[in-house]
A and B are shown apart, each in its own frame.
Chain A
Amino acid sequence: EIVLTQSPATLSLSPGERATLSCRASQSVSSYLAWYQQKPGQAPRILIYDTSNRATGIPARFSGSGSGTDFTLTISSLEPEDFAVYYCQQRAAWPLTFGPGTKVDIK
């Protein structure tokens, strides 16, 4: 199966700052990489699918880039509601797999 790693494990930032999260795949996933946000006690919420496509209702401050094995989620200016855990997920091959997550917390 395709293994995803994420860095950093924790990102401590202040509201208004820029967040840059990374995801690396053990083999190419082409552009089939998604990003999710998860808050405690809630289901994951899809932010970005297929590398750079924002899901319905997702603010423009969220953007995704990359290809092959290296991907980035950027939050241009953190809002208070953005402090959460972010997971990447690939759908290039079964089984779908997820990264271990990056926690974005308040500095």
Chain B
Amino acid sequence: QVQLQESGPGLVKPSETLSLTCTVSGGSVSSGSYYWSWFRQPPGKRLEYIGYIYNSGTMYCNPPLKSRVTISVDTSKNQFSLKLSSVTAADTAVYYCARDYGGVTTWGQGTLVTVSS
């Protein structure tokens, strides 16, 4: 049973870069069959898709975020990561990492990131 766990700072200053890591256990990020994804949920709002990395290299980002997002994978640590640059208060949210396969998404527990000075 795959498990995912997000980690990273809970507080980021405006204009800085948000960096989160997702550690995967019970499965391999090297597997070419899965989309390793990031989502977020601002307080009281609906879920928003950020993007994915697939097959250790192919990346997709939601167009409104595309210029600020980088998703990468570290196969040696069985992790994948999210970087979101030039953050503002609007980026305050619970961030989730997830694995997608055939329509079934397995989620991490989520981590709250607050953007504030």
Contact = CB atoms under 8 A, between A and B. Distances in A.
A50 B49 contact: no
Interface residues of A, number: 22
A50 B102 CA distance: 9
Contacts, number: 43
Of residues A43, A45, A50, A87, which shows the largest number of chain B Cβ atoms within 10 Å of its Cβ? A43
Contact of B49 (A42, A45, A55, A95): A95
A45 B98 CA distance: 11
Interface string B57-69: 0001011000000
Contact of A89 (B47, B60, B109): B47
A43 B110 contact: yes
Contacts of A98: 46-49
Interface of A: 32, 34, 42-46, 49-50, 53, 55, 87, 89, 91, 94-101
Interface of B: 46-49, 51, 60, 62-63, 96, 100, 102-110
Given A46-B106, A89-B47, A95-B51, 14 more contacts: A32-B103, A42-B109, A43-B96, A43-B108, A44-B105, A45-B107, A49-B104, A50-B103, A55-B104, A94-B62, A95-B62, A96-B49, A100-B46, A101-B46
